[in-house]
Amino acid sequence: MVIKPKVRGFICTNAHPMGCAASVSEQIQYVKQQGGYDSGPKNVLVLGCSTGYGLASRIVSAFGYGASTLGVCFEKAPTERKTATAGWYNTAAFHQQAQEQGLYARTLNGDAFSTEMKQQVIDVIKQDLGQVDLVIYSLAAPRRTDPETGEVYKSTLKPVGQAYKTKTYDTDKDLVHEVELEPANDEEIFNTVKVMGGEDWELWMDALGEAGVLADDCKTTAYTYIGKELTWPIYGHATIGKAKEDLDRAAQAIRTKHKDKRAEAYVSSLKALVTQASSAIPVMPLYISLIYKVMKQEGTHEGCIEQIHGLFTSRLFAEQPELDEAGRLRMDGKETNDATQAKIKALWDQVTQENFHELSDYAGYHHEFLKLFGFDIDGVDYDADVDPQVGW
């Protein structure tokens, strides 16, 4: 099969196995070239391990610290006529390289929100690892089935309190235009917190704790985006921001419940960048295209792997990690500092349909977007006939 990108709106509906493998290799090479892996995790559970920040966390754990990794993801397998999802191919490439290096890796593909998946993970930990000393919570999902009631909750991306009118960029039509986003009602806010808040993170930690598979002094972290004034109306102070606030509550609850294990639970704030999750958020493609421009000029541009390498080596496994006023680990300073935000705001105010490509780094954004699905990567022959049936 010759595989070319099929982009529909903010998603690409296919993926390239060789391209995904190249992108995973690039991240592994980066991690191997860096240092700072003094004391770190040995047995790591990564929830949301196949793409974005979760995949980067798995790569840093395995290829930086030499840890055994157990991953959970929700990806589609290939068929004879359809490619797999990118996360499937990323996982296959991760497994191949881990095996070559003699690193333990196992991945369970299914719904991390379910009780069954929690039990399967516990069984695998008991059988293969004994206990885990790090749990990464990196799920990004549009819906969640409540394991107790069976009710399906859907998240929404809407402002809270009042409507919000802003510029946005339509990646499909190459159009900068105004959008007016209606505020969410209480039910939509509640549902978004149900999906993306801290409840499931707590359920995971409870299940692992009760099963006796959490090591003493274990650590866990969930990822958040806090941002600044430009993104607050649609992120930080919006429905998704309410869900992320709930992570702070959950972190505290986890620390209290697992005191006997001296468990450390953190919310880690990361920078905005192109992933399958962020490209679905209105306004984000415009904002990210502008921050790429400014941060590349400042020499501070980072992707998932650089952020996570920094998070592990300079925060999560540092002797005395620096915390913000809410007890979070912060890796977003290069984006959210006042000087950088002022430059982004100046561009934001000026940007129009006419000057968008000149003022922004949309070319960089688009390249990164295609790369998520294994496309637009140097050295990959996109005219070659490839077998989509790759697995692990």
Q: What region, left, alpha or beta, does residue 337 occupy, with left being phi > 0 and alpha being psi -120 to 50 degrees?
A: beta
Exposed e or buried b per residue across 251-280, where buried means at least 16 C-beta atoms within 10 angstroms of its C-beta: bebbbeebeebebbbbbbbbbbbbbbbbbe
Q: What letter would DSSP give residue 196?
A: H
- Minimum CB–partner distance for residue 197 and ligand NAD (Å): 10
Site for ligand NAD in 201-220 (CB under 6 A): none
Count of CB atoms within 10 A of residue 143's CB? 12
**Helix 17-33 with 304-311: angle, nearest 10 deg:** 40
**Between 139 and 218, CB nearer to ligand NAD:** 139
Are 43 and 78 in contact by the 8 Å Cβ rule? The answer is no
Q: Does 52 bind ligand NAD (CB under 6 A)?
A: yes
Radius of gyration over every alpha carbon of the chain, rounded to an integer in angstroms: 20
Residue choice 14, 23, 27, 50 for contact with ligand NAD (CB under 6 A): 50
**Footprint of ligand NAD on 84-103 (CB under 6 A):** 87
> Residue from 68, 168, 278, 336 that binds ligand NAD (CB under 6 A)?
278
C-beta of residue 1 within 8 angstroms of C-beta of residue 379: no
Min separation Cβ 295 and ligand NAD, Å: 13
Q: Quote the crossing angle between the two packed helices 52-59 and 86-100, to the nearest 10°.
A: 0
- Please state, in angstroms and rounded to a whole number, the distance separating the CA atoms of residues 364 and 161: 34
**Which residue has 């607050």 as its token pair?**
232
Q: Quick one: which of 276, 313, 340, 360 contacts ligand NAD (CB under 6 A)?
A: 276
Binds ligand NAD by CB under 6 A, chosen from 14, 43, 51, 57? 51
- Residues in the chain, how many? 392
Give least dist CB 298 to ligand NAD, A: 18
Distance, in Å, from the CA atom of 252 to the CA atom of 245, rounded to the nearest integer, reads: 12
Residues binding ligand NAD: what is the number (CB under 6 A)?
29
Residues 8-37 within binding reach of ligand NAD (CB under 6 A): none
Q: Among 5, 66, 74, 364, which residue sits at the site for ligand NAD (rule: CB under 6 A)?
A: 74
* Residue appearing with tokens 């949301």: 48
**235 annotated active-site:** yes
Residue nearest ligand NAD, CB atom distance: 52
245 forms part of the interface with ligand NAD (CB under 6 A) = no
Site membership for ligand NAD, residue 53 (CB under 6 A): yes
Site string for ligand NAD, 118-157 (x = CB under 6 A): --------------------xxxx----------------
Rounded to a whole number of angstroms, the minimum distance from the CB of residue 274 to ligand NAD is 7
Buried-state track 194-231, b at ≥16 Cβ within 10 A, e below 16? bbbbbbbbbbbbebbbebebbbeebbbbbbbbbbbebb
Stretch that binds ligand NAD, among 27-35, 93-101, 272-280, 315-323 (CB under 6 A): 272-280
Residue from the set 84, 112, 136, 234 that interacts with ligand NAD by CB under 6 A? 112
Tokens of 75: 């990806």
- Catalytic residue selected from 235, 287, 292, 362: 235
Distance from C-alpha of 111 to C-alpha of 105, rounded to nearest angstrom = 19
Q: Which is nearer to ligand NAD, 41 or 197 (CB)?
A: 197
Nearer to ligand NAD by C-beta: 72 or 347? 72
Owner of token pair 């934001």: 348
Question: Which residues form the interface with ligand NAD (CB under 6 A)?
Answer: 48-54, 72-75, 87, 111-113, 138-141, 223-225, 270, 272-273, 275-278
Residues carrying an active site annotation: 235
